[in-house]
Amino acid sequence: MPLANHKPAPSFIYPAVPIAIFLAGLSQFLSSRYGLFDFPLDDAWIHQVYARSLAWGHGFAYNPGLQEAGESSPLWALVTVPAHWLEAWGAVPPALAVKIEGVLLGVVFLWLLFNLAADYTESPVSGLCAASIFALDPRFLFSTISGMEVILLITLWSGAAYAVIRQRWTLSCILIGLTPITRPEALVLLPVFLLCLVMAQRSAPWGRHLFRLVMVAAPALGWGLFCKYATGHWLPNTFYLKAHVVELKYVYIDQVWQAFLGHGFPALSIFFLGVALFLIWIIKRRDVNRFTLFMLTVFGPFVYLAGVAGSRRISPDGYYWTRWLDPAALILTVPFCIGYAGLLTGGMARVWTGRLGRSYARMAVCGLSALGIAGLVYSFPAFSASFTDRRDHLASDSRAINLINVQTGKWIAQNTLADAVVGVNDAGAIRYFGHRFTIDLIGLNNAEIAFKKVDFKQAVGKTDWLAVFPGWFSGAGSFPPQGFVPRTIFGIPYQDYTICPCPSQTMMAIFEKKPGLRSTHRVRPGRWSPKNSNRLKKSWKKD
């Protein structure tokens, strides 16, 4: 058929291909019942405690009637509120509903990536190729169904980059401004973006710059005001308890780097080749947006990575640590996919051979495409190993959380009075499924403990039940705790606990306080109501 008579494929066909590949990859990840109906991290259930509270109209309350700044990702809690409306109707289990929302965000991300690549390379075929490559990234697949906020953060981040390409600066300000209330480490992205804004819009009036600055800063400032109202401090509790300045020794930097390169396409030897090709493409193109695109998709991930590395100790073993680095790894995978797509589809050859004859250009296209395919074939064993690792970890991590945390929460709900007070050190699934007033003994979800207004001994004294890791409790106080008697244990063999190399977390022990030692501050049995919870709130703050 002559080229002149060739009809291009409809525009909706191009993004449909990577979305179909993405769904096919997910079908391999969700082969386990645990992977479908459970989360691979207890922190995901903490998010859902707050999401359920918001769905019921109680605000950011870990316990009804007590507003807490324990949520480090408030926007993720807001986004997953519909999952609990569906649960109330008996339609969809909450974990499955949250996973469906994550998959929908994954579809949006791939659509954004397709359009970003197609618009910048001026080739829908390159956009299709870039999005199709990304759709199979095991880190991406894991993130969409992990119940964590990573997928929301990278969707906002890539949406801001695409809005810049389309010269929609107001929309990009809104999207980038939402990233710090998705992950607090994203605060480091704001000065990067504002620099891009000033450089690209130098001729804009200062009034417009000020307005956009307010849009960028407003979400983080609003959340800070809420934290100040709830706890008297400007940041979530987790910042004061977990984040700290880390001495940047070589061994720590190496651990962060190994964790960064541990999964997905960053684990492949061709990864930085794709990023380099993307940079060459930016340099060769005289595009007004190239500086901003570089800053958001290449420089920005390294700034984010530095922010995480400088505030937390990271281990390459287990999702508990690697999830901190996933946003940076996934956003840096965007230029890899665009650069490598240009290699496979001939876009890079056209950049370099624009002044050459047609025959030389065709030879360059064929040669570079063959080189790109050879690189993929060479990297396939490493990619396959990463894919299998992430798939297996989704199932095994979710199984561990179910058998230890979820089952403990369900036991609490079935075997304790409705007005029982439960002390925990893993504060997600036990609170979510237990439906009891729960004291987070670490303080992440309890400002009174986090800021030393109530000491550990006093906090334990206010509980009727304890559901704790024995190994953790023995380091925090006497074990077994004085005045408590053991009731039951939930646990799994250490070799089955794949979340992190943490032998002390493979067993959850439940203790009941002896009847004569129970707190006198009780409320009548029954389902929680604002009236009952306010009474217990007063008793909790009373010495």
pLDDT tens digits, residue range 154-193?
Answer: 999 999 999 988 889 999 999 999 999 999 999 999 999 9
User: What is the distance of C-alpha 502 from the center of its chain?
Assistant: 21
Asked if residue 448 has pLDDT above 70, the reply is yes
Average pLDDT rounded to a whole number, residues 305-333 = 87
Per-residue pLDDT at 458? 87
DSSP character at residue 404:
I
Helix axes 300-309, 189-200, angle to 10 degrees: 160
For residue 473, give both structure tokens. 């409790």
Asked if residue 540 has pLDDT above 70, the reply is no
* Whole-prediction pTM: 0.91
- Output Rg (C-alpha) for the chain, integer angstroms: 25
Dist CA 75 CA 178 (whole Å): 8
Characterize the bridge pairing of strands 465-468 and 421-424: parallel
Dihedrals φ, ψ of 469, to 5°?
A: -75, 120
Average pLDDT rounded to a whole number, residues 481-500 = 90
N residues, the chain? 543
Per-residue pLDDT at 251? 60
Dist CA 133 CA 368 (whole Å): 17
For residue 312, give both structure tokens. 């937390």
DSSP character at residue 292:
H
DSSP character at residue 295:
I
Per-residue pLDDT at 358? 56
Query: Is residue 181 a contact partner of residue 225, using CB atoms and an 8 Å limit?
Result: no
DSSP β-bridge partners for residue 468: 509
Dist CA 121 CA 351 (whole Å): 10
Per-residue pLDDT at 531? 41
Asked if residue 535 has pLDDT above 70, the reply is no
Per-residue pLDDT at 348? 62
Query: Is residue 446 a contact partner of residue 238, using CB atoms and an 8 Å limit?
Result: no
Per-residue pLDDT at 444? 93
For residue 235, give both structure tokens. 């940041």
Asked if residue 23 has pLDDT above 90, the reply is yes
Dihedrals φ, ψ of 490, to 5°?
A: -120, 130
Angle 517-518-519 (CA atoms, 0-180°, nearest 5)? 120
Q: How confident is the model at residue 528 (pLDDT cuts 50, 70, 90)?
A: very low
Give the chain's mean pLDDT: 85
Per-residue pLDDT at 479? 64
Burial of 321 (0-12, 13-18, 19+ CB in 10 A): buried
Per-residue pLDDT at 246? 60
Lowest mean pLDDT among 40-54, 243-257, 420-434: 243-257
Dist CA 531 CA 48 (whole Å): 23
Q: How confident is the model at residue 519 (pLDDT cuts 50, 70, 90)?
A: low
Dist CA 106 CA 155 (whole Å): 8
Q: Give the H/E segment covering residue 491.
A: strand 484-491
Q: Give the H/E segment covering residue 512.
A: strand 507-513
Which one is predicted more confidently, 281 or 223?
223
Average pLDDT rounded to a whole number, residues 449-471 = 90
Around Cβ 243, how many Cβ atoms within 10 Å?
18
Average pLDDT rounded to a whole number, residues 465-478 = 76
Per-residue pLDDT at 536? 40
DSSP character at residue 481:
P
Which one is predicted more confidently, 496 or 517?
496
Q: Give the H/E segment covering residue 155.
A: helix 150-165
Per-residue pLDDT at 303? 93
Picking from 522, 541, 456, 445, the residue whose alpha carbon sits closest to that of residue 67 is 445
Per-residue pLDDT at 474? 63
Domain spans of the chain?
A: 11-396, 397-541
Which one is predicted more confidently, 368 or 264?
264
| Whole-Å CA distances, 321 to 52, 70, 256 | 26, 19, 9
Residue identified by tokens 């340099």 is 283
Average pLDDT rounded to a whole number, residues 99-111 = 97
For residue 146, give both structure tokens. 């992990």
Burial of 153 (0-12, 13-18, 19+ CB in 10 A): buried
For residue 221, which amino acid is it? L
Per-residue pLDDT at 291? 86
Asked if residue 101 has pLDDT above 90, the reply is yes
Which of 84-98, 141-155, 232-246: highest mean pLDDT?
A: 141-155
Percent pLDDT > 90 in the chain is 54
Per-residue pLDDT at 409? 97
Q: How confident is the model at residue 493 (pLDDT cuts 50, 70, 90)?
A: very high
Plot region of 93 (φ>0 → left; ψ -120 to 50 → alpha; else → beta): beta
Average pLDDT rounded to a whole number, residues 377-406 = 94
Dist CA 355 CA 368 (whole Å): 17
Asked if residue 277 has pLDDT above 80, the reply is yes
Average pLDDT rounded to a whole number, residues 331-337 = 96
For residue 542, give both structure tokens. 């009373």
For residue 505, which amino acid is it? Q
Per-residue pLDDT at 352? 55
Angle 130-132-134 (CA atoms, 0-180°, nearest 5)? 70
Dist CA 320 CA 397 (whole Å): 10
Q: How confident is the model at residue 541 (pLDDT cuts 50, 70, 90)?
A: very low
Torsion angle defined by CA atoms of residues 522, 528, 532 and 538, in that order, rounded to the nearest 10 degrees: 70
Dist CA 85 CA 3 (whole Å): 53
Query: Is residue 259 a contact partner of residue 321, using CB atoms and an 8 Å limit?
Result: yes
Residue identified by tokens 């501050």 is 521
Asked if residue 521 has pLDDT above 90, the reply is no
